Structure 1
Amino acid sequence: MERLAGTIMLSSGFNRILIALIAGAIGALSLPPVGFFASLFVSFTLLVWLIDGTTGSPDGGLLSRTFKVFLLGWIFGLGYFVAGLWWLGNALLLEADEFAWALPLAILGLPAFLALFYGLAVMMANSLWSDGWGRIAALSASFGLAEWLRSFVATGFPWNAVGYGLMPVPLMMQTSNLIGIFGMSMLAVFIFSSPALLGTRRGMVSGLSLAFLLLAGHVGYGLYRMHQPLPEIADATTIRIVQPGIDQSRKMLNADRVEIFQEHLRLSALPPSPGKKRPDIIVWPETSVPFILTQNPDALEEIAKTLDDGQILLTGAVRMEDAGAGHPPRYYNSVYAVDGQGQIIGATDKVHLVPFGEYVPFEDVLHRLGIENLISLPGGFSPALSRTPITLPSGKKLYSFICYEIIFPDDVPADIASSEAILNVTNDGWFGDTPGPYQHFQQARVRAVETGLPVIRAANTGISAMIDPLGGIEAGLDYGQTGIIDTTLSGVAIDALNGEARKTNFWLFFITMFAIALISRYGLAGRKN
């Protein structure tokens, strides 16, 4: 290990760039659908040795060395994000004639931007770098802060945070209820960086011992929580999740709108699965209704014919709102609640829109350059000012997270515990059978664990499922399948922390890692064991 560490540290030029790029790409193997979390041991061990080599180099002044360290982190991040997000380009190929020119921006441009956060993380860690195991704590704190920043800077995109690599199965998801995904990212970086100490020896015993204890505590807490029974509900709500499996190219054709609507109705009207009761709630995915529902009374009548008395349909749809004389109407990506009489009894709108998918930032300027939305609507979608729940006639509340809103932990409202479940409707058909839908699904499972609430997930082409409050799949349909899921809404986890407690724990964890790095940097720790 010492010889290998020395070789990595002394690498230079193109070899050094290539090692950093490959190290980042190897880390992406920890993400779904591969889920090989041990790949991050290789990824972050190489990164530590690369930083060791840059920090120890006498070449150039402080500014030059700082830039080299930033560039190293950026290249590492570029490898990680390109390998983990290449599938974004698939959405542009659906209308290749119009959007093929943007493929490099999706496949390389967005990863290059996201990699800036990892460049900043490595640069911050370098400022606290030392010879001992404190440098592992510095890297841990820096990546935790970078992932937190990535969740809101420039509207935020915390997709594939490093912490997800430490959570391939529910057993290893439970700690997220204590420290959230950003705390999990700190924990992951510390654990996965620790083998680097084998190559440099200094602080090896202390650092590896702490990493082992953290990993053991992480798994041990998972075992404890997984053995806590979920409360049984006497009058549990029965749910039918519809996965129509409509190819995205069909959804984009106006000629198929009636047939698509009828396919949803047919699946909704199927008799209950063996051993299951008639569903109380039927859930359709995002934008399932292929026209403006409020302008189509025939569609509401068809829904009424399909539903029995007392049943409720929750469906994704585009909602149009009159903006007044002289102004174009506003459009919202919404979820409607429709009862058995065909009446709309509730609605909630998407808050966190997708840039360049649902709206164009700096619209006036970029439209002059010919840059348009992927979704063709005059002016794009408008965001809701706040997240509001849908209250059912029974009095039960559901908070909806439409599409990628589910990846933002800070978008979860403070009163989420007052609801029965999280509703996640999405259309991952844009991305085909790529890693995208599997990564999206994992993040929905982690939100269930963080909040201690079940997640009702309806995806047009998959992956649809009823996710229990511990991240387990009670029933589901894989990507590309067409069908229904008849299941029952489970109870909430009785020991779940609230969002404020998780944030507090995250910052306490950050302060601890930062303090260890600071003490080590100034010589009070990091002595040889």
Structure 2
Amino acid sequence: MLSNPLARAPRWAAALVLLVAGALQTLTFSPWEWWWLGPLSVALILSVTLFQTGRQLFLSGWLTGLGLFASGVTWIYVSISEHGNTSIPVAVLLMTLFVAGLALVHGIAFWGWGKLAKESPVRRLILFPAVWVLTDWIRGWLLTGFPWLYLGTAHVDGPLAGWAPLAGVHAITLIITGTGAALYGLYSLVRSRRYAPAAILGVCTLALWLAGPALNRFPWTEVSNKPLTFATMQGNIPQQIKWDPDFLRDQLMVYLGLTEEDWDRDIILWPETAIPITQDEAGPIIEHIRSKLGEESVLISGIPWYTYSTNREDYTYHNSILAIGDEGGGVYHKQKLVPFGEYVPLEQWLRGIIGFFDLPMSSFSPGPKYQDPLIAGEARLMPAICYEVAYPDFVAMNARRGNLLVTISNDGWFGDSIGPHQHLQMARMRALETGRYMLRGTNNGVTAVIDNKGQIRGDIPQFEREVLTGELRTVSGNTPFMLTGSWPVLTLAAILVVFVRERVIPKNR
């Protein structure tokens, strides 16, 4: 018989536990990285929700999501208030609506969990990890997606890291939530003196955690013996002048000056929109760069791109990367755009209402699918611009066409918040999932080089104007996750939902 340790707790206490449990998950991510709080958070959630009715479950799910997002995405306020020309009350209102709206996804998921599992607490324990993972996937897809704060991301430095190249971040999330459910089950089994099933459950759960370090030693991909030299520049340009034409020359001189000693590097990386004018206006600076480059050097920079779109049958803007050099080249147009930052949903109604809906360069269009890699000698670099690195399957699919990853960003939008640290952690998880080195260039941090195990091999602290130099290596071969994506884990979750829902476990248990 399963027990409920919070059965007699007042409603306000139960609500507080859920808010705290959601907030504990934020502490598993950077900059804290207390990954061990993940299963504990899940066990706390279950201690409140396991015996609740459908209507109660909706509210509990919403409170859990509220605790998670209110603590984990506070950087949204910086973008809206400090850089969105929006008053403090309006910024607080918009952030509140955003957080409350995201939390609704968890509310609906918990309600559905109750409908699927009915009154059986055993069935609820089995279904909870599956429902959580499917909810994460839906949240990363719905309305262009918000693939942020996946519990598995916290384990880029945790014991479950070895599962990432095998099955991806959602598989790690499944293990974490499953462990939380197992902790609750162990508590109930031991309390009712059912030691044999408790031992079996404990051993099975522990085996998944012990497998992580073993899997992390497996060489899924082969690292080249030939190093490539690189230099990436962090200009630390204030966001307030980024799109001011009066400061255009100053910005370009900053990056040209930072590059002065490194024109002969194999790969030179400037961050997102380091060239803050479109390619048709940037001809002279592009030619100047080409004239300064070494014979085998390639410079890669973010740049807005103005071109004719056959899809829209009109001229349009892209947030793009341009590779310049005799030994390579190429252009990549960003596919995953940030709502309100790079395009405005319901633009015809929202434009002009407040400053946040009129941010500079917020009229981009997504680029086409299946774009070619950027070429730098023998390196085939698959790019991801800013927000795109948060999408595990997107990066894994693209990585199959390249032997090196590159990502650029302008995290100046998030100021001195936790957002840039979370962003870097997701980039590290993508490198781990694909078994590829990643070069990350940002305007104001954190600029870094990441190896094929997701470990940082060099970085520049935030808010410093500096150059990072070193060596990185191309990689051959694909990890299992690159070949399958998240579908095996999602299929497993769906199978659990279907068969457990169909009363494979009797209702009276």
Same fold by TM-score greater than 0.5: yes
**Partners of 2:195 and 2:60 in 1: CA distance:** 24
The answer to whether the 8 Å contact 2:237/2:444 transfers is yes
C-alpha change, 1:252 and 1:16, in structure 2 (3 Å) is: same
Match of 2:42 in 1: 44
Q: What is the identity, as a one-letter code, of the residue corresponding to 1:459?
A: T
Q: Which of 87, 90, 93 is the aligned partner of 2:75? A: 87
The answer to whether the 8 Å contact 2:343/2:364 transfers is yes
Q: Does 1:161 align with 2:139?
A: no
Q: Does 1:136 align with 2:122?
A: no
Superposed CA deviations along residues 156-195 of structure 1, whole A, max 9, x for unmatched, are 1010012224x15065322122222222222111112332
The answer to whether the 8 Å contact 1:171/1:226 transfers is no
Q: Which of 15, 20, 23 is the aligned partner of 2:21? A: 23
Superposed CA deviations along residues 187-220 of structure 1, whole A, max 9, x for unmatched, are 1111123322354336786467435534443443
The answer to whether the 8 Å contact 1:454/1:468 transfers is yes
Q: Per-residue deviation at 1:90?
A: 0.8
Q: Per-residue deviation at 1:500?
A: 4.6
Q: Show the 5 A alignment for 1:203-242.
A: 206=197, 209-210=200-201, 212-226=203-217, 228=219, 231-242=222-233
Q: What is the identity, as a one-letter code, of the residue corresponding to 1:279?
A: R
**Partners of 1:392 and 1:39 in 2: CA distance:** 42
**Partners of 1:430 and 1:42 in 2: CA distance:** 33
Q: What is the identity, as a one-letter code, of the residue corresponding to 1:338?
A: I
3-state SS, counterpart of residue 356 of structure 1: coil
Superposed CA deviations along residues 135-160 of structure 1, whole A, max 9, x for unmatched, are 32211011011011111111110100
Q: What is the identity, as a one-letter code, of the residue corresponding to 2:422?
A: Q
C-alpha change, 1:382 and 1:24, in structure 2 (3 Å) is: same
Gaps of 5+ in 2: none
Q: Per-residue deviation at 1:46?
A: 1.8
Q: What is the identity, as a one-letter code, of the residue corresponding to 2:252?
A: F
3-state SS, counterpart of residue 235 of structure 1: strand
Aligned residues: 503
Q: Per-residue deviation at 1:356?
A: 0.6
C-alpha change, 1:208 and 1:85, in structure 2 (3 Å) is: farther
Match of 1:104 in 2: 92
C-alpha change, 1:46 and 1:218, in structure 2 (3 Å) is: closer
Give the stretch that moved more between structures: 235-244 or 396-405.
235-244
Superposed CA deviations along residues 244-298 of structure 1, whole A, max 9, x for unmatched, are 22232232433222122111112212259xxxxx511101110111222431333
Match of 2:426 in 1: 443
Match of 1:116 in 2: 104
Q: Which of 451, 456, 460 is the aligned partner of 1:473? A: 456
The answer to whether the 8 Å contact 2:186/2:198 transfers is no
**Partners of 2:220 and 2:433 in 1: CA distance:** 17
Q: Show the 5 A alignment for 1:444-523.
A: 444-492=427-475, 496-511=479-494, 513-514=496-497, 517-518=500-501, 522-523=505-506
The answer to whether the 8 Å contact 2:221/2:478 transfers is no
Q: Does 1:416 align with 2:399?
A: yes
**Partners of 2:398 and 2:307 in 1: CA distance:** 27
The answer to whether the 8 Å contact 1:141/1:513 transfers is yes
**Partners of 2:71 and 2:403 in 1: CA distance:** 37
Q: Per-residue deviation at 1:304?
A: 3.0
Q: Which of 31, 34, 42 is the aligned partner of 2:32? A: 34
Q: Which of 283, 296, 300 is the aligned partner of 2:269? A: 283
Q: Does 1:400 align with 2:390?
A: no
Match of 1:148 in 2: 137
The answer to whether the 8 Å contact 1:132/1:525 transfers is no
**Partners of 1:316 and 1:417 in 2: CA distance:** 22
Q: Per-residue deviation at 1:9?
A: 2.3
**Partners of 2:344 and 2:39 in 1: CA distance:** 39
Match of 1:366 in 2: 350
Match of 1:269 in 2: 260
**Partners of 1:296 and 1:504 in 2: CA distance:** 43
Q: What is the identity, as a one-letter code, of the residue corresponding to 2:283?
A: P
**Identity in percent:** 24
Q: Does 1:193 align with 2:196?
A: no
Match of 2:321 in 1: 335
Match of 1:73 in 2: 61
C-alpha change, 1:367 and 1:396, in structure 2 (3 Å) is: same
**Partners of 1:381 and 1:204 in 2: CA distance:** 60
Q: Per-residue deviation at 1:518?
A: 4.2
**Partners of 1:328 and 1:147 in 2: CA distance:** 36
**Partners of 1:179 and 1:211 in 2: CA distance:** 22
C-alpha change, 1:525 and 1:145, in structure 2 (3 Å) is: farther
**Partners of 1:229 and 1:186 in 2: CA distance:** 22
TM-score after normalising by structure 1: 0.85
Give the stretch that moved more between structures: 456-465 or 412-421.
412-421
